[in-house]
Structure 1
Amino acid sequence: MNAEWNTFLEQADASLEHGRVAHFGQPETELGAALAGDVRCDLSHLGLIAARGPDAETFLQGQLTCDVRQIAPDRSLPGAHCTPKGRVFASFRLFRRGEAVYLELPRELLEPALSRLRKYVLRTRTMLEDASDALARMGVAGSNAAALVGAALGAVPKLTHNVITVNATYPDSVTVIRLPGPIPRFELHGAARELSAVWNTLAPNVTPVGAEPWRLLDILAGTPTIYPETIEAFVPQMLNLDLLDGISFHKGCYVGQEIVARTHYLGKLKRRMYLARVDSPA
C-alpha cells in the first residue's frame, strides 16, 4: 500500500490486515451500507501493473483478450491474459494514466501475472512493473455516488467504462473510472494527498467500508475476477467477458486466441457465470 495513504487510513480508524483495509470497526454494518447507502472504500486490495514504453500498446495487444487500442484517456475496459490453451490466467481492468497503461487485478495475483507477462516481452520496448504502491486508489458507490463525486471533483464520467482526468497536471491528477453494475460506482486513482482530500470531503455523507463490501458490489455487477485458486479454470466466455467488452473477435492474434475464437464461432459454451442468491442463517 502507498505509505502516505496507509498513514492516512490509519488515522481514519481503518482496521488494516495484510496491507489492506478489512473494515472500519463495523463489518456487518458496512456490508449493509454497500447495498442500501453510499460508501467509500480503500482499493489497496487491488494491485496495479504499469506497462510503459514505445511498444507497450502493441505488446499488450498481442497478449490480452480485449482491444487495447480502445483503451484511451477517456475509456477503460476489462480484459484477460490467457494460456496458449485459452484458459484465463488473470483478469484485469485496463486504463491509461499519463504515459502508462495500467492493469488492475487482485493483489495476490499480481506477482504471478507480472512474471507471466514478462516472459513474452522479449525484445519489445516495453517495461512492466508493479505500480501498486505508486498510487493511492479508492472507490465510491451508491445511488448518490455520481453527485457526490461530481461535487468533490467538479466532474464525473457519465457512461460505463468512461474515464475522466481531474487536475490534468500529472502526477497530481485524479483518474476517475465509471464501473458497470446496478449500483453506480467509481474508481479514483491518484496521489495520496489528492485522494485524502476527496475522502474527507465525502466523510459527512458516505460510509467508509473495507474490501469485502466492494467485492460484494463486484459480484452484484457481474464483474469476473480471477484469484490464485481459479487460475486456468475458465475460458474467457465462461466469465462473460464477451458480454462485457472484454474480448475482441476482430483484433487479430493474442495468446490463446485460437481457442477463444473457436469457442465463439464453432463451439458450444457449456458453462457461463450467473448471479445466484442463497438464503442462509450462516
Structure 2
Amino acid sequence: MEKNFFSYYFNKLFYHTKPILMNLKNISITFISGKDRKEYLQNQFTNDLNILKKNKYSYGTCCNIKGKIISIFLIFDYFNNSYACLHRNSISKIQFDEIKKYSEFSKVDILIKKKIKIFGIFGKKSKTLLEKCFKISFNKFNVIKKNNFIFLKIDNEIERFIIIVSNKEVDFFKKKFFKKFKIKKCIAWDFISMKFGFPILEIENCKKFNPISLNLEKFNALSFNKGCYKGQEILSKIKYKNFNKKKIFLIYSISKKKPIIGSRVFKILNNDLIFFGTVLFSIKIKNFVLVQCIFNNFVDEKVLFKIENIKKSIFFLKNFI
C-alpha cells in the first residue's frame, strides 16, 4: 500500500507539464523592526542571527524558559531594517505575545502583517519559470526582493519556492502567472515537509516538546554557541547529557477520518493498547492518512499503532526520519 501510494502521489505532484502553485493560507508573516531588533531577538530565539546573511534565511524556534517550543519559523532579513518570520497561522498570536512580552525596554516594533499573500511553488521547471518571468537569479541567493515581491528558495531534496505578495499586487500576479501553473491545495506543501522530517507545529502542541525532539537540529534551528536565550540552559543539558528520548516518526493508514492534532497514539502489544506518543500533524488525501507523530527514540519497524477516536484503522510505521 505504502509504496504504491507514494509513487502515485509523487508522480502526480511532480510529473506535470506545469509547475505546481499553492496559496499557503495556513502561513502568516510577522515583522520585527527597530534599532535593537537583532540583540532583542538573540535573547528570544534559538537560532543565531549573527550568522544570518542578507539574501539568506534560517529556521528557528521560540521557546519558553523550560525549553518547550512555542513556535517554529523561517526568518530572513526583510531588506528595510526588519526581520520577517514565516510561521503557522494558529501560533501567530501566541508567538506575538511571547516576543512582545519583554519589548518595552528595547527599541523594537513587532507587527503581524495581514495585507499580504503567501504562495508556494514546486515541481517541474519551477525555478526556470520564476527566473524567466521575474528576471531574477537564485544562483547566489535564496532570498530575493524584486519590486513588490519577495522570493525564497527552500533548499530540500525537492526544490521549493515561496512568493510573498502584497494584496495590491495579487490580481496582477494571478492574471500574469496563474495560467503557467497547476493549482493545488496547500496540503501538498505540508506533505513534502512531513516527508523530509520538518515538524509542523500547531497551537494544540505549543509548549509540549523541545526542539531537539522535533528534529530541528537537522535544520540548523538551534545554536549552542551564541549565548543565552530562553530555554538555552535546559536545551544544552538535553543535548550534551543525551537526555532526549523522543523523535519524529511518520505513520500511515487507510481511514475515513483524519486524526486530530494532539491525539494520543497507542502501540498494539498482545492485543493491548499502550500509550506511545502524540499526533503532531496529519493530512488526508482521499482515504489515505499520513500522520506526523512524536514517539520514543526506538520503535520496532513491525509495531502497529492505533490513534484515539479512530477505532477502525490500524496505522503502520512508514520510515525513520
Shorter-chain TM-score: what band?
A: 0.7 to 0.9
Q: Which residue of 2 aligns with 1:127?
A: 109
In 2, the alpha carbon distance for the partners of 1:163 and 1:94 equals 10
Distance 1:155 1:222, change over 3 A: farther
In 2, the alpha carbon distance for the partners of 1:127 and 1:67 equals 20
Q: Which residue of 1 aligns with 2:62?
A: 81
Higher relative contact order (CA 8 A, sep 6+): 1
Q: Which residue of 2 aligns with 1:164?
A: 144
Indicate the SS of the match to 1:148.
Answer: helix
Structure 1 residue 224 and structure 2 residue 199: aligned? yes
Within-5 A mapping of 1:48-67: 48-67=29-48
Q: Which residue of 2 aligns with 1:92?
A: 73
In 1, the alpha carbon distance for the partners of 2:187 and 2:200 equals 14
Within-5 A mapping of 1:182-221: 182-221=157-196
Q: Which amino acid aligns with 1:103?
A: C
Indicate the SS of the match to 2:22.
Answer: strand
Q: Describe the superposition over 1:143-197 as per-residue Cα deviations: whole angstroms up to 9, x where unpaired.
A: 32211211221224247x8212223xxxx3x221111333211011132354544
Q: Which amino acid aligns with 1:123?
A: F
Q: Which residue of 2 aligns with 1:12?
A: none
Q: Which amino acid aligns with 1:155?
A: I
Q: Which residue of 1 aligns with 2:13?
A: 34
Q: Highest CA radius of gyration, 1 or 2?
A: 2
Cα offset for 1:241? 1.2
Q: Which residue of 1 aligns with 2:252?
A: 278
In 2, the alpha carbon distance for the partners of 1:32 and 1:108 equals 31
In 1, the alpha carbon distance for the partners of 2:76 and 2:209 equals 24
Q: Which of 116, 124, 146 is 2:127 aligned to?
A: 146
Q: Describe the superposition over 1:111-165 as per-residue Cα deviations: whole angstroms up to 9, x where unpaired.
A: 111111111213011111111x232221111132211211221224247x82122
Contact 1:64 1:80 in 2 (8 A): yes
More strand by percentage: 2
Of 140-149 and 194-203, the range deviating more from structure 2: 194-203
Percent identity for Structure 1 against Structure 2? 20
Aligned length: 246
Structure 1 unaligned blocks of 5 or more: 1-28
Indicate the SS of the match to 2:252.
Answer: coil
Q: Describe the superposition over 1:85-133 as per-residue Cα deviations: whole angstroms up to 9, x where unpaired.
A: 11111111111212220111111211111111111213011111111x2
Q: Which residue of 1 aligns with 2:221?
A: 246
Q: Which amino acid aligns with 2:242?
A: G
Output the TM-score relative to the length of structure 1.
0.79
More helix by percentage: 1
Output the TM-score relative to the length of structure 2.
0.70
